[in-house]
Amino acid sequence: MKVNLISDTVTRPTPGMLDAMMNAAVGDDVFKNDPSVIALEEKVAEYFDMEASLFFPSGTMTNQTAIKVHTQPGEQLICDKYAHVYNFEGGGVSFNSGVSCKLVAGHRGMMTAEQVEKAINPPDFYHSPLTTLVCIENTTNKGGGACWDFEELKAIRKVCDDHGLKYHLDGARLWNALVARKENPKAYGELFDSISVCLSKGLGCPVGSVLVGSQKIIDKALRVRKVLGGGMRQSGYLAAAGVYALENHVTRLHEDHEKAKELGNTLANLSVVKKVEPQETNILIFELDENQISETDFLNKLSEKEISIIGMGQGKLRMVTHLDYTDKMHQHLLEQLVKLFG
């Protein structure tokens, strides 16, 4: 039995999603007349109670567009040292926007308002870059799917307001945080200047992310999307998958979270596992005791059983549960972990 927990991006459309895609009404979204794209953008904007949204091919493009809209070349943004915009977007912050990153050593990808305030460069000290933006990632990828405390996010908003900074949320897995913490998405819409949400991770779509914000921000984002080559024609086929996912795949995310916790409990009882990081959502990060087994040997033993997970280096590994990870696969993996390493 093949089990793939490399990421929640490996999912394939469900039969219901495929039906929605194949029956989608489409136009030409570059001319802004694709009805399915318009329906998705209106639905996401309403979900967060924000003025407008824009459909993109990827979450990297939504983040990079937001950064471009909020900054000018030579300026600086503040983010945690684990942030996706810094680590996993190909250096796009500097390449696309000419902006540098002030990295903060937070906890599991989450920084405090106090840390953010200390990281702001004095605006009248022209020798250092002008700080203009704070970027947050919720849930945190390298932090093992950790969810931010909403009160801390509000405290950072106050810091941004006090210092005239923009506030962007990389919410690639925000759906997971909303379900895990039982939070109101409209509260996020009120807090942030812009939010990026991904449809192709936990929600199971084949392609797509959405940038949400004020009408002014989205008008600017439309121009940046064009420059980055993100305009798509009959993209309503993809947008229809997003609408279907929002209506059918959000509330079920707790199932992925429960499976991740059960995997964590099993791993914690294996002698070859040194540490399992705390779990809230669908990302599970654990550390091996390399005196007993190397990362390579651990991965190879799983691979021999057609089980795929990902190594993060330094003895750390990651599993990500998702829509295509069935109960049968779950029981098989739990049994194999004990059999191979117990």
pLDDT at residue 7, as a whole number: 97
Q: What is the DSSP letter of 31?
A: G
pLDDT at residue 278, as a whole number: 95
* 308 has a pLDDT exceeding 90: yes
Contact 147, 181 (CB under 8 A): yes
C-alpha to C-alpha distance for 302 and 288, rounded to whole angstroms: 14
pLDDT at residue 196, as a whole number: 98
Positive or negative, the CA dihedral 5, 8, 14, 19 is negative
C-alpha to C-alpha distance for 229 and 130, rounded to whole angstroms: 29
pLDDT at residue 204, as a whole number: 97
pLDDT tens string 253-305: 999 999 999 999 999 999 999 999 999 999 999 999 999 999 999 999 999 99
Q: What is the DSSP letter of 120?
A: P
Which whole number is the average pLDDT over 80-87? 97
Positive or negative, the CA dihedral 262, 14, 247, 53 is positive
C-alpha to C-alpha distance for 130 and 123, rounded to whole angstroms: 6
C-alpha to C-alpha distance for 81 and 127, rounded to whole angstroms: 23
Contact 53, 218 (CB under 8 A): yes
> What domains lie within the chain, and their CATH numbers?
15-248 (3.40.640.10), 252-341 (3.90.1150.10)
Contact 332, 3 (CB under 8 A): yes
pLDDT tens string 153-162: 999 999 999 9
Does 14 sit behind a cis peptide bond, omega within 30 degrees of 0 on the bond before it?
no
Six token digits for residue 38 = 């318009």
Q: How confident is the model at residue 120 (pLDDT cuts 50, 70, 90)?
A: very high
Question: What share of the chain has pLDDT > 90, as a percent?
Answer: 98
User: Nearest to residue 224, comparing CAs of 100, 94, 96?
Assistant: 96
pLDDT at residue 314, as a whole number: 75
User: Nearest to residue 282, comparing CAs of 11, 8, 3?
Assistant: 8
Mean pLDDT rounded to a whole number for the chain: 97
Element (DSSP H or E) covering residue 18 = helix 15-22
How many residues comprise the chain?
342
C-alpha to C-alpha distance for 194 and 168, rounded to whole angstroms: 5
* 58 has a pLDDT exceeding 90: yes
Contact 104, 83 (CB under 8 A): no
User: Nearest to residue 151, comparing CAs of 183, 108, 173?
Assistant: 183
pLDDT at residue 342, as a whole number: 86
C-alpha to C-alpha distance for 141 and 314, rounded to whole angstroms: 17
* 242 has a pLDDT exceeding 80: yes
Q: Which amino acid is at 127?
A: H
Q: Where do the DSSP E strands lie in 40-125?
A: 52-56, 76-80, 100-104
